[in-house]
Structure 1
Amino acid sequence: MSPTASDHPSASPTQVVAGLGCRRGCSREELLELLIHSLARHELTVDNLVGVASIAHKRDEAGLHALAEYLGLELVFFSPEQLAGYQMPTGASALSQATTGSPAVAEPCALALAARMGALARLLGEKDRSASATCALAIFDREPA
């Protein structure tokens, strides 16, 4: 049985979203391992996860789609323009800018999705990296500010 957030919707009160960036061809397994590691650093599990997002440039990445399907979550994509208001002063990458049109991917995607789902979106610490991917987590309040 796959570990989906929908298996236990009320079991975990803390709800988080993940912003994911990856190199072309990154596997579902690498993304899942990174995601689980990122969640565990904050004493969270996939049961706390309510959404995943990436940049529109990665819309055709099979690994991202396979991960979202495995988790039973919708994969949301944001354009560089939609991410502009969520960029962090640190963490900008010239390679990311040249490749995707956005100076960063994981953090602004996490913040943009958290803001879409609730109020007071904020990152949970620094992003994590694997050989081919990045993952940032964000939390939000369900009630409007």
Structure 2
Amino acid sequence: MTTDNTVPTLVVGLGCQRDCAADTMLALFHAALVAGGIDPWRITALASIDHKRNEPGLLALANALQLPLQFFSAEQLAAYEPRLSHRSALAFAHTGCYGVAESAALALAEHLSQSPARLLITRQKNSQATFALACAS
């Protein structure tokens, strides 16, 4: 019998309103992972849309968690639209993408693993941010 020792790639996709505080995103990050039974130390990286490249709270969150943060264009994220659990017209109006957190998580998981990804935790949100967790082997 063989054992598959492949460690899955777990990445978090994040979306946020302008000037969203890192603490607001951190609370959502921890609440979603606790609810999903996922140890925060298993997270490999964070992802978002390139519109948020200079968002102070998002950058502070990545720094606080000591995780790399990668950005994708709306065009890159559009490829994941058919796989989203939720499509937001408001997000599309602001970013050109129907679901930043879910599509960014899927995009980064597939980019890092070079294999198909799936959502382990679909879109979660609080008043200012969205969160999704994707997994790829």
TM-score under structure 2 normalisation?
A: 0.88
What are the equivalent positions in structure 2 for 1:1-145 lying under 5 Å apart?
15-87=9-81, 88=83, 90-118=85-113, 119-141=115-137
Whether the aligned pair in 2 keeps the contact of 1:36 and 1:45 (CA below 8 Å) is no
Say how many residue pairs are matched: 129
Q: Aligned partners of 1:69 and 1:45: how far apart in 2?
A: 18
**Displaced runs of 4 or more, over 4 A:** none
Q: What secondary structure is seen at the aligned counterpart in 2 of 1:108?
A: helix
Structure 1: stretches of 5+ with no match in the other structure: 1-12
Q: What secondary structure is seen at the aligned counterpart in 1 of 2:13?
A: strand
Equivalent residue letter for 1:30: T
Equivalent residue letter for 2:78: A
Whether the aligned pair in 2 keeps the contact of 1:14 and 1:48 (CA below 8 Å) is no
Q: Classify 1:37/1:132 alpha carbon distance in 2 versus 1 (closer, same or farther; 3 Å).
A: same
Q: Aligned partners of 1:56 and 1:89: how far apart in 2?
A: 19
Q: Can you list the C-alpha shifts for 1:62-89, whole angstroms capped at 9, x where unaligned?
A: 0000000111111100001111111135
Q: Classify 1:89/1:69 alpha carbon distance in 2 versus 1 (closer, same or farther; 3 Å).
A: closer
Cα deviation for residue 44 of structure 1 reads: 1.2
Structure 2: stretches of 5+ with no match in the other structure: 1-6
TM-score under structure 1 normalisation?
A: 0.84
Percentage of pairs with the same residue:
43
Q: Classify 1:31/1:60 alpha carbon distance in 2 versus 1 (closer, same or farther; 3 Å).
A: same
Pairwise CA RMSD: 1.3
